[in-house]
Structure 1
Amino acid sequence: MADAHVAASQGPGLRVWALPGIGEVRAGDDIAKAIAVAVGAAGADTGSGPADGLVDGLVDGDILLVTSKIVSKAEGRLVEAADREAAIDAETVRVVARRGPLRIVENRQGLVMAAAGVDASNTPAGTVLLLPEDPDASARAIRRGLRDELGVDVGVVVTDTFGRPWRAGLTDVAIGAAGVRVLDDLRGGTDAHGNPLSATVVATADELAAAGDLVKGKAAGLPVAVVRGLGHLVGEDADDGAGARALVRPAAEDMFRLGTSEAVREAVTQRRTVRAFTAEPVDGGALRRAVAAAVTAPAPHHTTPWRFVLLESAEARVRLLDAMRDAWIADLRRDGKSEESIARRVRRGDVLRNAPCLVVPCLVADGAHTYGDERRDAAEREMFVVAAGAGVQNFLVALAGERLGSAWVSSTMFCREVVREVLDLPADWDPMGAVAVGHPAQAPKARPAREASDFIETR
């Protein structure tokens, strides 16, 4: 090793070393210029040159791994905060999980991490350090600065330390990148045995970040590392594109987005009535898992008053909906509605017809008590109706957790005899509306804000 304070690791064709001499970074400092000065000082100090190639200045194709903390300091992200929790609140978009004082959240940069990346270590009392406002933009600025200062075309990765689900310990990952291919998509190729690769997309930027962390260390005061030997990952085609943002899994593809009690609450609050669906089929397993959640609802007298009729075939749906439409039209004509008005109302009711799956929840009150008293008998019936509603709500929330859209419509309650006849249901099964289920054709509209206090009376 050319110098004792320069950590380096070498493999076939690959070198990774930490760059000494960066020093303390303050607001307004130019990170690219600080790196350029440190590169020159390291080369002069060690006397290394092209022959040994360890710290012989930066060359085209090198990749710099820059700890986000110095980027944040240079960008003035050190802020006064008497309460770190308040700072975390300000940076949080969504709480993913919570255990005691620890919060895993999605922050304003779209990153899911502990405490929104708010750092209170190695900062003056009463202050905290926030992540860079736009880490990809920070990486691009450093890359351009190094090109201006040293005339080299390098890649830049801004790194931060993350914990990981299912794995103990911390590692550095990429939160910003410029000029680096952050994902290496190997799908469509084959492995050494000729087997097709169908799901292999390598997070190269995260692997680079972790390699740099091995030589930078957490407490060595070496915030920048250099990787040499992976020039094929660097180039104009990788510059200023999606950056490290491409490493953040889209919400629609995140299988674990709803994996905690906090996420269950989110499923409740994010559930929407969906009226337009794609033609994509609905997984029968997802429907059955939603029913399993539905039947955990509370019910009177230890009964199980829920039944769910799944109309998964188009033929069954059309037969039921045609019969219900005819019954509805007959009702509207009895009400004296015009044929134009009737046609308009029927069109508005097509949400059930346009869904790829239809579910009819039914109430079976076979455990109800009979008192022979009108007041108590009415209350008994209401108990079972409330239990049926709780089951339907569980069902809708579980569908949201399965990333399925749904719409509860009351129509079957107005023609129960028709529904029972068409579906060949027992006489004591009371249809409690119908639920259209499918994959949403578009993102739901934002729900108007509702303040819980508007619905609360305290005594």
Structure 2
Amino acid sequence: MELTPVTDLPEIRPGDDLADLIADRAGDTLADGDVLTVASTVVSKAEGRTADLADYPVSGRAQEIADSLGELAGEEKDPRFAQAVLEESTELLIEVPFLLTETRFGHICVNAGIDRSNVPEHDLLLLPKQPSESAARIRDGLTERGYEDVAVIVTDTCGRPFRHGQRGVAIGWDGMPASRDWRGEQDRDGRELGVTVQSVVDELAAAANLVTGEGADGVPAVVASDWAFGDLDGSDELFRSVEDDLIRQALRGWEWEGGT
């Protein structure tokens, strides 16, 4: 597999056509059968998902959260940010020492994925409302420009339980299944695989993140070439349901007991 960053993209503004901008700069790098990963930051900017703290009148709940986090951190926390997180979430899984939430499209992450960096002229950058629909629009735009079979993944970075650091993950996709199912296949010793379902959209997002970079050096789009899904069953299941998510069930009964 070859990973090629799409460089020289301009600062993205609301209403910008990402498919057109990417196709113009990718040139011959992008071909039918490739996978295009696009950072959620530029998708959000193109969709006008910026906001200011003044847009969020503070509820009593947001004030309580900000007060609790501020007391723990030893510094004042802005309740307007807590309000923004509440409005972008369907469930608050952890309130202290940080806000772990479920977004409206099913992704679980810190602070509803709201970003406060690289947002010129605004305070906040929200995640796309429906990232898979965003991926479909970009893919449709590429199809109109002659790319008949390019899958699109919208990516973000987030932390992982039990490990330090962040890595790229898929939050939306179109044109390919989210995972490939190895159940029923055999290992080298002839044993049948019973549980292995490979999240290929996450793995492609993580691979792309190696070349996109972070902070001021970030490149928001990457072309993955010479990669094939293979002759396996696929599925679009990525986010666990509450009934199947033992960790979420445990968190619902968990309480912070202090410490660092």
| TM-score (structure 2 length as normaliser) | 0.82
Question: Deviation string for 1:421-445 (max 9, x for gaps)?
Answer: xxxxxxxxxxxxxxxxxxxxxxxxx
- 2:45 corresponds, among 55, 59, 73, to 73
| Contact preservation (8 Å) 1:189, 1:196 | yes
How far residue 125 of structure 1 moved from its aligned partner, in angstroms, is: 5.8
What is the aligned partner in structure 2 of residue 414 from structure 1?
none
| Contact preservation (8 Å) 2:180, 2:229 | no
Alignment partner of 1:24 is 2:1:
no
What is the aligned partner in structure 1 of residue 253 from structure 2?
264
Provide the rounded CA distance (Å) in 1 between the counterparts of 2:182 and 2:254.
Answer: 37
Structure with bigger gyration radius: 1
Provide the rounded CA distance (Å) in 2 between the counterparts of 1:256 and 1:121.
Answer: 30
Question: Deviation string for 1:150-174 (max 9, x for gaps)?
Answer: 3331010000111111111100100
| Contact preservation (8 Å) 2:3, 2:222 | yes
Provide the rounded CA distance (Å) in 1 between the counterparts of 2:12 and 2:223.
Answer: 19
What is the aligned partner in structure 2 of residue 163 from structure 1?
159
Q: How does 1:340-355 map to 2 (within 5 A)?
A: none
Question: Deviation string for 1:191-214 (max 9, x for gaps)?
Answer: 011111000000000000000000
What is the aligned partner in structure 2 of residue 130 from structure 1?
126
Provide the rounded CA distance (Å) in 2 between the counterparts of 1:39 and 1:212.
Answer: 15
Q: How does 1:20-59 map to 2 (within 5 A)?
A: 20-40=7-27, 56-59=28-31
Provide the rounded CA distance (Å) in 1 between the counterparts of 2:122 and 2:83.
Answer: 12
How far residue 119 of structure 1 moved from its aligned partner, in angstroms, is: 0.9
Provide the rounded CA distance (Å) in 1 between the counterparts of 2:5 and 2:167.
Answer: 16
| Contact preservation (8 Å) 2:90, 2:103 | yes
Alignment partner of 1:192 is 2:188:
yes
What is the aligned partner in structure 2 of residue 401 from structure 1?
none
Do the aligned partners of residues 207 and 159 (structure 1) sit closer, same or farther apart at CA in structure 2, a change above 3 Å counting? same
What is the aligned partner in structure 1 of residue 137 from structure 2?
141
| Contact preservation (8 Å) 2:29, 2:223 | no
| Contact preservation (8 Å) 1:19, 1:226 | yes
| Contact preservation (8 Å) 2:9, 2:22 | yes
- Secondary structure, in 3 states, of the residue corresponding to 1:171? strand
- Secondary structure, in 3 states, of the residue corresponding to 1:213? helix
Provide the rounded CA distance (Å) in 2 between the counterparts of 1:222 and 1:189.
Answer: 38
Alignment partner of 1:251 is 2:251:
no
**% same residue:** 39
Question: Deviation string for 1:181-237 (max 9, x for gaps)?
Answer: 210100011101111100000000000000000011113231000111113369xx9
Provide the rounded CA distance (Å) in 2 between the counterparts of 1:201 and 1:187.
Answer: 7
Q: Which amino acid aligns with 2:250?
A: G
| Contact preservation (8 Å) 2:4, 2:29 | no
Unaligned runs of 5+ residues in structure 2 are 55-79, 256-260
- Secondary structure, in 3 states, of the residue corresponding to 1:162? strand
What is the aligned partner in structure 2 of residue 228 from structure 1?
225
Aligned residues: 228
Provide the rounded CA distance (Å) in 2 between the counterparts of 1:130 and 1:233.
Answer: 35
How far residue 28 of structure 1 moved from its aligned partner, in angstroms, is: 0.3
- Secondary structure, in 3 states, of the residue corresponding to 1:205? helix
Provide the rounded CA distance (Å) in 1 between the counterparts of 2:5 and 2:173.
Answer: 18
Higher helix share: 1
Provide the rounded CA distance (Å) in 1 between the counterparts of 2:230 and 2:33.
Answer: 8
- 1:206 corresponds, among 180, 202, 207, to 202
Q: Which amino acid aligns with 2:169?
A: V
Provide the rounded CA distance (Å) in 1 between the counterparts of 2:9 and 2:169.
Answer: 21
| Contact preservation (8 Å) 1:28, 1:74 | yes
Using CA pairs under 8 Å that are at least 6 residues apart, name the structure with larger relative contact order, 1 or 2.
2
| TM-score (structure 1 length as normaliser) | 0.48
What is the aligned partner in structure 1 of residue 101 from structure 2?
105
- Secondary structure, in 3 states, of the residue corresponding to 1:257? helix
Alignment partner of 1:85 is 2:82:
yes
How far residue 110 of structure 1 moved from its aligned partner, in angstroms, is: 1.2
Provide the rounded CA distance (Å) in 2 between the counterparts of 1:74 and 1:126.
Answer: 14
- Secondary structure, in 3 states, of the residue corresponding to 2:36? strand
Provide the rounded CA distance (Å) in 2 between the counterparts of 1:214 and 1:87.
Answer: 30
- 2:93 corresponds, among 82, 86, 96, to 96
- Secondary structure, in 3 states, of the residue corresponding to 2:29? coil
Unaligned runs of 5+ residues in structure 1 are 1-13, 41-55, 267-459
| Contact preservation (8 Å) 1:36, 1:150 | no
- Secondary structure, in 3 states, of the residue corresponding to 1:256? helix
| Contact preservation (8 Å) 1:84, 1:120 | no
Question: Deviation string for 1:338-357 (max 9, x for gaps)?
Answer: xxxxxxxxxxxxxxxxxxxx
Alignment partner of 1:150 is 2:146:
yes
